């Protein structure tokens, strides 16, 4: 049985929420966007890069 993208996203969101993660939506200055793009590793999303830079390490995902 195949799943739709919406179903996979719903399951992913539930797992992240259960693990204590919270989704944020923010407006940032272009300089911060440029900084994050420079510091971001190829396998990281913007949120994970920001987490790593602020906390010193990205937390394990469920």
pLDDT of residue 56: 95
Q: pLDDT-based confidence at 55, cuts 50/70/90? A: very high
**What are the pLDDT digits (tens) for 5-48?**
999 999 999 999 999 999 999 999 999 999 999 999 999 988 89
Q: How far is Cα 33 from Cα 25, in angstroms, rounded to an integer?
A: 14
pLDDT of residue 42: 94
Q: How far is Cα 14 from Cα 12, in angstroms, rounded to an integer?
A: 5
Q: How far is Cα 35 from Cα 21, in angstroms, rounded to an integer?
A: 23
pLDDT of residue 2: 81
* pLDDT > 90? residue 1: no
Q: Where are the domains of the chain?
A: 22-62
Q: How far is Cα 11 from Cα 18, in angstroms, rounded to an integer?
A: 11
Contact (Cβ atoms closer than 8 angstroms) between residue 5 and residue 50: no
pLDDT of residue 61: 86
């Amino acid at each position: 049985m195949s799943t739709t993208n919406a179903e996979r996203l719903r399951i992913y969101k539930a797992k992240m929420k259960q693990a204590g993660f919270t989704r944020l939506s923010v407006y940032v200055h272009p300089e911060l966007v440029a900084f994050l793009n420079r510091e971001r590793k190829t396998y990281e999303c913007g949120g994970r890069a920001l987490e790593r830079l602020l906390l010193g390490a990205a937390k394990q995902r469920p």
